[in-house]
Amino acid sequence: MSSGRSRARELGVVVGALPTGSLNAITDVEGVLVGHTTIDDGADLHTGVTAVVPRPPRPLPAAVHTGNGYGKLVGSTQVDELGVLESPIVLTGTLSVFRAADAVLTYLMRAHPRGLSFNPLVGETNDGFLSDIRRRPITERHVLDALEGASGGLPAEGCVGAGTGTTALGFKAGIGTSSRQVEAGMPVTVGALVQANFGGVLTVRGVPMPVEELVPGAARVRPPGNSCVIVLATDAPLDARQLGRLARRAIFAMGRVGASYAHGSGDYAIAFSTATQRPVLPDAALDPVFAAVMDAVEEALLNSLFMATTTTGVHGHTSHAVPYDRLLAG
């Protein structure tokens, strides 16, 4: 699906000096797949499902960091307790998170017909500014389609899947992704995927770009903080404690693009490792991995905005795309 929109690098906005993977996406981490289901009726429904699916499925070292807990991340306490991820990660809209979790349970039960306990990990952001969330339109089939249709390659970004109805930093946002490759005693790839829906003032390479300046006459009605979910994947051999350190840096990176970290913003980062080799990297080797996380998340957030298109939704609310001419002139 072509939106006529461009990623940050295509616009000449380059974050940091570290090299990206070949796709500049979370799918640069081997074995990580992404799937979307989009619901957009052109009127009151702008929502969907995004699934991050590690292959082959197996318990993976993982951690969750909560920047601000005003949100719903189903299954996070068991990840905290055991330090492992045992399901795909699914993202959707706020009031559909519980139906999505039940659908992931169906998926896991089919994959493991003799299992007696499962821990779906499902996150959300509130897309109620543009979508009628009280209709709870997400069905089991929508979730299964995203999971079963997950693939490698460059994931769609912007107004797709769980990002169909999101708004960030005053502009239309959505799903974004990016990756970095570094040397940390061994070659390491770090990939990030974001569902961006949070408040603040868009900041690009240190320059604030308020929506009032880039879109003169933009509606004064603004959505509240509303949240961000960040998914990190890496092939670095790390344990759950170290992955928690990566997840914290992911939340820090939101500040680079102007996040306000508002009271009503549920900001979460989920990090997992696909590595099969051990032992884990020593902590002293993590500095380049931390840098990779910060840059990949920053660029993923910018991609989530730059790839999104202007959307008018429920109650006539409009969220404007970042205008490239004013962005590049700033």
Residues acting as catalytic residues: 227, 265, 267
The CA distance from 162 to 164, in Å, is 6
CB of 24 closer than 8 Å to CB of 137: no
CB of 272 closer than 8 Å to CB of 54: yes
CB of 167 closer than 8 Å to CB of 130: yes
Q: On the CB side of 197, how many CA atoms lie within 13 Å of its CA?
A: 36
Beta strands in the chain (DSSP E): 32-40, 46-54, 60-69, 84-85, 89-93, 121-125, 167-168, 171-172, 175-183, 187-196, 203-204, 207-208, 228-234, 266-273, 311-312, 318-319
CB of 86 closer than 8 Å to CB of 76: no
Tokens 């000096």 belong to: 17
The CA distance from 32 to 52, in Å, is 7
Tokens 């306990």 belong to: 117
CB of 48 closer than 8 Å to CB of 164: yes
The CA distance from 203 to 200, in Å, is 9
The CA distance from 17 to 275, in Å, is 25
